[in-house]
Structure 1
Amino acid sequence: MRIAITGSTGLIGSALVRSLRADGHTPVRLVRRPPAAPDEVRWDPRRQEVDVAGLAGCEAVVHLAGAGVGDHRWTAAYKREIRDSRVRGTAAVATALASLDAPPRVFVCGSAIGYYGDTGSRRTDETAPAGEGFLPEVCVDWEDAAAPAAEAGIRTAFARTGLVVARSGGAWGRLFPLFRLGLGGRLGNGSQYWSFISLHDHIAALRHLIDGDLAGPVNLTAPEPVTNREVTAAMGRVLHRPTPFPVPAAALKLALGEFAGDVLGSQRVIPRRLLKSGFTFAHPGIEGAIRAA
């Protein structure tokens, strides 16, 4: 199967490319520079331009590109970058797919559980409405930008991703070095829920969305979210390190600015649709996910 991927050099995209190649598929990587290999296709999300001819023959497209939410302090300029990189990029890809004489059968569009905002301790599935705040607003606009693909009859699924447990990259890419040095600890009071998923299960879930028949929002999180306090304890057990240094909420706010509110926020998100469709998790628990990483 020929499958186009944006964000193919990122944590999730590069792992997806490896997985597809290992099973004999042909990934087509959308790049922002002049193509340097036969499997590359040029696109420019800022200008909303895509080499449509390069997408011909693709049976599926997986759109993962977007500026990292936690990569920089949230200045007004970087918040625009977070939003524009997702909304403009999604609109460009969706419009390109809709213009094809033979469009792909499925468009898997990245999204995030940030859609729901702070859910506290409430178990939240795909039927929940959007929350309030910057990230929920971004996610709503992000998913809305895929409308041209859906309106063209392409099955469109939104992969609402949780916190991916991986050795490098994402939240855990920052946590592992601290915990290995014995400097890890809970964030704030540690009672906030973290909806995690192992990198292995995330890639398997994306493959499930490509191969199956799900459309609309699908939460890509493990079945049982855990609190930050439980994450801290599991990290200590797996790495055989003490976890004596809690990070006060005030210090996080000073270091991270507005983004600290989302770090300290709680999201207890359940993958109801993924489970109902028959997906099986290799690492349903936090300790197993950490050991896998």
Structure 2
Amino acid sequence: MRIVVSGASGLIGRHLVAHLRNRGHEVVVLVRRAEREPSEVRWDPAAGDLDPGRLGRVDAAVNLSGAGVGDHRWTDAYKDLIVRSRTETTSTLVRALLALDEPPEVLVNASAIGAYGEGGDTVLTEGSPRGDDFLAHVVQVWEEATEPAAAAGIRVSLARTGLLANPVGGAFGQMLTLFRLGLGGPLGSGRQWWSLISMPDELAALEFLLTRPVPGPVNLVSPEPATNLAVTGALGAALHRPALLPVPAAALRVALGEFAGSITGSQRVVPAALLEAGFTFRHPDVGAVTTWLANA
């Protein structure tokens, strides 16, 4: 397939581009800087600028663009950036795809399990109601920006990714450093549910959605969510380090501000749509995910 990818410089994007190319796909990368190689196409999503004529034939598109929700404290300005960086990129890409003589068959658009808000102990599937907090609002407007593509007949898969487990970068990259020093432990009460997915399963699931008819919201999480206490305990065991030093919720709020609620909040999410479509996870539970993390 010839696949256009936006957000290719991010954590998932870097790995996905390499994964797709290794699998034999041709990947066109959207960049905001000057182009450096033939596989790059410059765009300016803030200005709504992407020349469809530069894209050539497009069989599929993957949109991963968006400012990191945990990269900065949530000031009003940064919250606005979190929203705009998703809606502007999505709308610009969709307009360009619809302007092609032959639009692609599928758009896989990044999203997040933040759609569900605080879930407590309730098992959440793609059919569960939306939450009412800031991240749920972000996901709503982000996903709504894909609606013109779906209305035009493009199959749109909304990849609602959970907590991404990767040994470098992201939240788990920072956690691994602390755990290897013997400074790891539960965050907040430890009773909140975490829904994880390993990087290999994330990449395989995104490729799966390019070739399987799974439209609409799709939870990208391992089949067996676990409590934060179970996750940190399993990670400590995989690293042969103690995991006994709890981080109080109040300390997280001081350090992270409003974003701390995303860490101490509970989301018991399962990948109902992926499982029904026949996707097989390499790392289906917390033990498999943390063992992979410790040895990757």
TM-score (norm. length: structure 1): 0.98
Match of 1:108, SS state, is: strand
The one-letter code sitting in structure 1 at the alignment partner of 2:283 is H
The one-letter code sitting in structure 2 at the alignment partner of 1:72 is H
Q: Deviations over 1:173-206 (max 9, x none)?
A: 1111111111111001100000000100010000
Is the Cα–Cα contact under 8 Å of residues 34 and 42 in structure 1 kept in the other structure? Answer: yes
| RMSD of aligned Cα (Å) | 0.9
Q: In 1, distance between residues paired with 2:290 and 2:54?
A: 38
- Which residue of structure 1 aligns with residue 251 of structure 2? 251
Is the Cα–Cα contact under 8 Å of residues 67 and 85 in structure 1 kept in the other structure? Answer: yes
Is the Cα–Cα contact under 8 Å of residues 56 and 102 in structure 1 kept in the other structure? Answer: no
Alignment of 1:22-37 (within 5 A): 22-37=22-37
Q: Deviations over 1:11-36 (max 9, x none)?
A: 11111111111121111110011211
- Which residue of structure 2 aligns with residue 76 of structure 1? 76
Q: In 2, distance between residues paired with 1:51 and 1:234?
A: 48
- Which residue of structure 2 aligns with residue 217 of structure 1? 217
Q: In 2, distance between residues paired with 1:115 and 1:25?
A: 31
Which stretches in structure 1 are left out of the alignment for 5+ residues?
none
- Which residue of structure 1 aligns with residue 175 of structure 2? 175
The one-letter code sitting in structure 1 at the alignment partner of 2:176 is F
Is the Cα–Cα contact under 8 Å of residues 4 and 29 in structure 1 kept in the other structure? Answer: yes
Deviation at 1:152, TM superposition (A): 1.6
The one-letter code sitting in structure 2 at the alignment partner of 1:23 is R
Q: In 2, distance between residues paired with 1:199 and 1:271?
A: 15
Q: In 2, distance between residues paired with 1:22 and 1:258?
A: 39
Deviation at 1:54, TM superposition (A): 2.5
Deviation at 1:52, TM superposition (A): 1.4
Alignment of 1:164-203 (within 5 A): 164-203=164-203
Match of 1:57, SS state, is: coil
Structure 1 window deviating more from structure 2 (9-18 vs 178-187): it is: 9-18
- Which residue of structure 2 aligns with residue 151 of structure 1? 151
- Which residue of structure 2 aligns with residue 280 of structure 1? 280
- Which residue of structure 1 aligns with residue 121 of structure 2? 121
Match of 1:67, SS state, is: coil
Which stretches in structure 2 are left out of the alignment for 5+ residues?
none
- Which residue of structure 2 aligns with residue 271 of structure 1? 271
Q: In 1, distance between residues paired with 2:49 and 2:173?
A: 32
Q: Deviations over 1:244-283 (max 9, x none)?
A: 2100111011111111112110000110010000000010
Match of 1:56, SS state, is: coil
Q: Deviations over 1:223-247 (max 9, x none)?
A: 0100000011011101111112100
Deviation at 1:172, TM superposition (A): 0.6
Match of 1:126, SS state, is: coil
Q: In 2, distance between residues paired with 1:54 and 1:286?
A: 43
Match of 1:29, SS state, is: strand
Is the Cα–Cα contact under 8 Å of residues 90 and 145 in structure 1 kept in the other structure? Answer: yes
- Which residue of structure 2 aligns with residue 50 of structure 1? 50
Q: In 1, distance between residues paired with 2:227 and 2:55?
A: 42
Deviation at 1:55, TM superposition (A): 2.2
- Which residue of structure 2 aligns with residue 233 of structure 1? 233
From the superposition, tell whether residues 51 and 173 of structure 1 become closer, same or farther in structure 2 (CA, over 3 Å): farther
Q: Deviations over 1:102-122 (max 9, x none)?
A: 111100000000000011110
Q: In 2, distance between residues paired with 1:126 and 1:243?
A: 33
Deviation at 1:288, TM superposition (A): 1.2
Match of 2:42, SS state, is: strand
Q: In 2, distance between residues paired with 1:229 and 1:244?
A: 10
Match of 2:90, SS state, is: helix
Deviation at 1:170, TM superposition (A): 1.7
The runs of 4+ residues in structure 1 deviating greater than 6 Å are none
- Which residue of structure 1 aligns with residue 110 of structure 2? 110
